Amino acid sequence: MTAPLAIAFIGTGVMGRSMAGHLQKAGHTLHVYNRTREKATALLEAGATWHESAGAAAAQADVVITMLGFPTDVEQSYLGAGGIVERVRPGALLIDMTTSSPVLARRIAEAAARRGVTALDAPVSGGDLGAREARLVIMVGGDEAGFARAKPLFEIMGKNIARHGGPGAGQYCKMANQIAVAVGMVAWVEALAYAKRAGLDPAAVHGSISGGAAGSWAMTNLAPRALAENFAPGFYVKHIIKDMKIALESASELKLDLPGLAVAKRLYEQVASRGWDECGTQALYRLYLAL
């Protein structure tokens, strides 16, 4: 195990609080900030120190980890006045685990380097369950030395950990993941909606098809929630829409057409328009029941 570190953890929401908790239980000292302090309560009760801003937490840390909602949050936290890059200690390691923009990841890495700091982009996959069980997939971009420093921490939070290249590479990998996730969500939702409309028991159909060629992580883990009308968020609708926008913008820059992803985005925007943007992504099934 790595020697105990002072870690600033910024963003203690649905996934972040579990990730931070694993680091805390492993013996690291936590400095935390979240827009809503209540979401950090369990960490604070276990000994974490609260700070009034991301920059203030970063100033006390050897390693800064962020798990935020949107690229705008990432940009402000890292590059804004009084933010992480401005206040972090020279020689510290910055790790953004938010699903964000590859272009922004490169900007942060460049700004960090000017301060004598290494920055990695390390978005994750696995949702709330993967975060709780420390089974996250962690996709990393950044230099090899920074990755080597971060890997013992990644191994506390996840199982499938890989560096894919320089700054931005982790975000490109995560976009590939989200393309597969979003289009795959449409697949199982349409299959079960079709079964229901045909007069079958969709739960029984799920039992027949989820273990075969039609199976997927989402079919196994999210379809049962949808069938039970449990639309609580493991991963928010508003966040999958954000990710699809980033992926489509990035694909456009790469001169690649992704029609399947465009359809998924249009469907999820319909989900959001019904006021379900704070639901989990399995709420797409709810849309089909309403059509």
174 is catalytic: yes
Choosing from 174, 238, 242, 265, the catalytic residue is 174
Instruction: Report the SS3 class of residue 213.
Output: coil
Q: Give the DSSP H or E segment for 237.
A: helix 237-253
CA dihedral 43, 49, 50, 53 (to 10 degrees): -120
Q: Which amino acid is at 240?
A: I
Query: What b/e string do you get for 167-194 counting C-beta neighbours within 10 Å, with b at 16 or more?
Result: bbbbbbbbbebbbbbbbbbbebbebbbe
Q: Which two tokens stand for residue 159?
A: 């199982």
The residue type of 25 is K
Q: Distance (Å, rounded) from C-alpha 195 to C-alpha 219?
A: 14
Neighbours of 22 (CB within 10 A): 18
Question: Which amino acids are annotated catalytic?
Answer: 174
